[in-house]
Amino acid sequence: MSLLSSILIGLVMGMVFGIALEKSRVFEAGMIVGQMQLRNFTMLKVFLTAVATGAVVLAAMHGLGLIKLAPKATFYTADVVGGLILGAGIALAGACPGTVLAQIGVGYRDALFTLVGGLAGAMAFSYLEPTLRPMLLTGGPGKLTFVELTGISYEVLALGFAAVLVVALVALERWRPWKSDLGTDVDGDFGPTEQAAGARGAHLKAAE
Amino acid sequence: MNACSLRQKAWSPYVAGVLIGLLQIPAFLLISTALGASSSYVTVGGYLAAVVDPAVSQIDYVGKHMALTGKNWWQVALVVGIALGAFLSMKLSGASRKPVSPIWSRALGTPSPVVRYAVAFLAGFIMLFGARLADGCTSGHGISGMAQLAVSSTIAVAFMFVGGIATAVLVLRRI
């Protein structure tokens, strides 16, 4: 695949990704912070559905011998510490590294600061990488997956995992219908009723 | 009907999730890689840093990301496409939004945009530092790594939620 065609494919795929992010509202800060405060479950639904779908299509393509999987190497400390820092950043950004761009696309100004901060953070890590590598990013069990840990084939394990996720999603949807998490407007603010009620209360009090 | 028309303001999270998951097909078949986003920050950041520090590309990690490979630039194009797609989707549905999400004045306890911009910069910084240390973000570790049943990704995603929930509950105010 040439560089130019890779870029064109990336643009088209990104546009599909961006449309899905905007239509589902999952790129909204309200949805991300709401998920992390366990008061909105849109993010978990999109995320787990994407994982389940990915597992099914990867199992099919891998089973047909069309692709080679590329799991990331395991470095326990880096995965734990990096994951914790990443999560803290996601909560304060109200975005993930990919969804920041969707926020910029719809005109959120703070997302530009998140992006610039992200570029700075990525470069800060890059400058430290030669120092961190011998401490955190060497050794370890390598590209470990649950296929090696269980001895079950990737196809069976991936389809089983997808089935478990579907059951979990059905349960989640019964407990929390997706429409109730959307909010009244398009801006991902799912809490206005509560706030409006509070404001009305304050107004009444002031009038008394 | 038309559960996923582009004119619609909202799609179900399941339609969106399936669509995102299906993107693994062209990613693996055409680019021989999995969906991801955070590496592109090193690619673009490397070129920006090179303006003031031309030696930056001599750091192996940066040089590898700055190389003119299909994989590196596919991911940069992907994140640019995300911005275009979200813009297009918003325009086609006639949705419009304020310059800053209304939740931030509640989450941060102040309506000041300057405070929000400062928090956003810091958040972006630690988000990408963490993502690069863990070697992936919500896309690369989350969507792709978990679908590939990787142990690294399962650990990173679990701790991403631990860090995210702890921060959203302890640092931010209830939105």
Going residue by residue through chain B, which has 175 residues, state the pLDDT in tens, using 9 for 90 and above: 466 799 999 999 999 999 999 999 999 999 999 999 999 999 999 999 999 999 999 999 999 999 999 999 999 999 999 999 999 999 999 999 999 999 999 999 999 999 999 999 999 999 999 999 999 999 999 999 999 999 999 999 999 999 999 999 999 999 9
| B118–chain A nearest CA distance, Å | 8
Dist. CA A90–CA A100, nearest whole Å: 10
Q: Delimit the domains of chain A by residue range.
A: 3-207
Q: Which residues of A touch B31 (CB under 8 A)?
A: 1, 6, 9-10
**Does any CB of chain A come closer than 8 Å to the CB of residue B50?**
no
Mean pLDDT rounded to a whole number for chain B: 96
**Mean pLDDT, to the nearest integer, of A156-181?**
97
**Is residue A205 very low, low, confident or very high in pLDDT (cuts 50, 70, 90)?**
very low
Position A113 scores a pLDDT of 98
Top pLDDT among A18 and A185 is at: A18
pLDDT for residue A193 is more than 60: no
pLDDT for residue A207 is more than 80: no
Name the burial class of residue B105, with classes exposed (0-12), middle (13-18) and buried (19+) by CB atoms within 10 angstroms of its CB: middle
**Does any CB of chain A come closer than 8 Å to the CB of residue B7?**
no
**Is residue A200 very low, low, confident or very high in pLDDT (cuts 50, 70, 90)?**
very low
**Is residue A201 very low, low, confident or very high in pLDDT (cuts 50, 70, 90)?**
very low
Dist. CA B44–CA B79, nearest whole Å: 11
Q: Identify the residue among A5, A23, A49 best suited for mutation to test binding to B, counting B beta carbons within 10 A and taking the highest.
A: A23
Return the half-sphere exposure (C-beta side, CA atoms, 13 A cut-off) of residue B68: 4
Provide the b/e sequence for B132-169 (b: ≥16 CB within 10 Å): bbbbbbbbbbbbbbbbbbbbbbbbbbebbbebbbebbe
**Mean pLDDT, to the nearest integer, of A1-5?**
92
Q: The dihedral of CA A71, B39, A40, B126: what is its sign? A: positive
> Cα(first)–Cα(last) distance of chain B, in Å?
34
Position B2 scores a pLDDT of 60
pLDDT for residue A30 is more than 50: yes
Mean pLDDT rounded to a whole number for chain A: 93
Dist. CA B151–CA A74, nearest whole Å: 7
- Residue owning tokens 């409006």: A196
A74 pairs with which residues across the strands?
A142
Provide the b/e sequence for A161-200 (b: ≥16 CB within 10 Å): bbeebbeebeebeeeeebeebbbeebbbbbbbeeeeeeee
Portion 88-127 of B in contact with A at CB < 8 A? 88-90, 93, 95-104, 106-107, 113, 116-127
Position A206 scores a pLDDT of 43
pLDDT for residue A196 is more than 70: no
Q: Are B147 and A142 in contact (CB under 8 A)?
A: no
> What value, to the nearest 5°, has the Cα angle with vertex B36 and ends B41 and A112?
40
List of residues 6+ apart from B153 with CB closer than 8 A: A71, A72, B136, B140, B141, B142, B144, B145, B146
Q: Count CB atoms within 10 A of the CB of residue A30.
A: 27
Position A1 scores a pLDDT of 76
